[in-house]
Amino acid sequence: MTWSEFLPLFFMAVMGLTLLAYVVLDGYDLGVGLLLPLGSDAQKDTMIASIGPFWDANETWLVLGVGVLLVAFPKAHGMVLQALYLPVAIMLIGLILRGVAFDFRVKAPIQYKPFWNAAFFTGSLVASAAQGWMLGSYITGFDNGGLGWLFSLGIAITLPAAYVLLGAGWLIMKTDGELRVRAVHWARRVLWPMGVALIAISAATPLVNASVFDKWFGLPQIFALLPVPLICAAAFFAVRWVVTRPALINAGYGWLVFVNTVLIFVLAFFGLAYSIFPDIVIGRLTVWDAAAATGSLTVIFIGVAITLPVIVAYTIYMYRVFWGTARELTYT
């Protein structure tokens, strides 16, 4: 493989992994935001405190992923954002609303706190649903027909449900007492609806994109890929096993809920990557067609080689420093 052939693959991998990191890391704090109305006033403060040190840094991965798309694949960037301009704008409005609400819910007069709590929930819901719609639209190749819209709507509903399970798993790890008991209950409530929705979306994907059917159900790849859905099913039932046994939670195994939910996200991501490769815009542009000139990619490669390890190291350090059971959020 030549250098000019390797660089587009490298940046495709970097972009994919950064977006996966965003979905997992920002996904749990979006999930906590979606669960916020279900907590008491004191529990709401603890829920916000559990994501307080992390939530804005988590969005760094989204900026990095979109930045790589812009500089490394300018043709794809223009095509994707042109097709997704409205949902991207809606997502950004949701993220901005979350950021404003996060600060004002504590600093504003107490009588306005319920309003800012509602704003944080609304921003989380809007951002999550917009991300689901964008993913669905991308998988269908930006199909504006009825089937494409229905599929995008299905993922716009499913992704927030998956974020709720991820957020509940995070709260099980990071809290204790009555809030942790409630988080276990929330995880149980959303588990089966999310699982059924994921199965439905997985079954519908080959119908809206014929190339996906050929990649997954042809011979002999069907046998090689069989472990992916089997491991997903095992992770799903591992989550169910933990949340239906309070003794395991009390014994310190609550982290299994979060870890297995992350595993489902990771397997779904790699399944999607396999389904669309080598396209970066399904049915329109391959990763090599969309890539910038080799000279430009070489310069960008140097920057990413410096920047990416720093971001990874900072993220690991941040989670290590602020790890532990969350307490009520306070400002001094």
Give the pLDDT confidence of 91-100 residue by residue, as tens digits.
999 999 998 9
Residue 102 belongs to what domain range?
3-321
> Residue 147 falls within a domain, yes or no?
yes
pLDDT beyond 70 at 332: no
> Residue 85 falls within a domain, yes or no?
yes
Q: How many domains does the chain have?
A: 1
Query: Mean pLDDT, the chain, as a whole number?
Result: 88
CA 290 to chain CA mean position, Å: 25
Question: In 134-165, which positions are buried (b, 16+ CB within 10 angstroms) versus exposed (e)?
Answer: bbbbbbbbbbeeeebeebbebbbbbbbbbbbb
d(CA 138, CA 235): 26
SS3 assignment, position 37: helix
> Residue 154 falls within a domain, yes or no?
yes
pLDDT beyond 80 at 218: no
d(CA 321, CA 150): 44
Each residue of 109-150: pLDDT tens digit? 888 889 999 999 999 999 999 999 999 888 888 877 777 888
Residue 318 CB-half CA count within 13 A: 15
pLDDT beyond 90 at 206: no
> Residue 330 falls within a domain, yes or no?
no
Phi-psi sector, 252: left (phi>0), alpha (psi -120 to 50), beta: left
Confidence of residue 255 (pLDDT cuts 50, 70, 90): very high
Pick from 121, 132, 102: which is nearest to 35 by CA? 121
> What secondary structure letter does DSSP report for 324?
S
Q: Is the distance from CB of 126 to CB of 93 less than 8 angstroms?
A: yes
Listed in sequence order, the residues at least 6 apart from 277 whose beta carbon sits closer than 8 Å to its beta carbon are 287
Percentage with pLDDT > 70 across the chain: 98
Confidence of residue 166 (pLDDT cuts 50, 70, 90): very high
User: Cα 24–28–30 angle (5° rounding)?
Assistant: 110
> Residue 308 falls within a domain, yes or no?
yes
Distances (CA, A) of 140 to 149, 153, 218: 9, 12, 20
Pinpoint the alpha helices (H) of the chain.
3-35, 41-51, 55-58, 60-72, 74-83, 85-107, 113-139, 146-174, 177-208, 210-217, 221-225, 227-243, 246-248, 255-276, 287-290, 294-321
Mean pLDDT of 153-179: 92
Residue 239: the pLDDT is: 95
User: Cα 93–174–230 angle (5° rounding)?
Assistant: 85
d(CA 104, CA 173): 26
> Residue 329 falls within a domain, yes or no?
no
> Residue 146 falls within a domain, yes or no?
yes
Residue 160: the pLDDT is: 94
Q: Is the distance from CB of 297 to CB of 8 less than 8 angstroms?
A: yes
> Residue 332 falls within a domain, yes or no?
no
Residue 62: the pLDDT is: 87
pLDDT beyond 80 at 1: no
Residue 146: the pLDDT is: 79
Q: Is the distance from CB of 36 to CB of 163 less than 8 angstroms?
A: no
Residue 83: the pLDDT is: 87
Question: Comparing 12 with 214, which gets the higher pLDDT?
Answer: 12
Provide the CATH number for the domain around residue 77.
1.20.1630
d(CA 288, CA 291): 5
CB 73: neighbour CB atoms within 10 A? Answer: 26
Structure-block tokens of residue 55: 């939530």
- Block residue for tokens 């979006």: 30
Residue 330: the pLDDT is: 58
Pick from 255, 271, 144: which is nearest to 201 by CA? 271
Question: In 277-292, which positions are buried (b, 16+ CB within 10 angstroms) versus exposed (e)?
Answer: eebbbbeebebeebbb
d(CA 63, CA 196): 32
Mean pLDDT of 77-98: 91
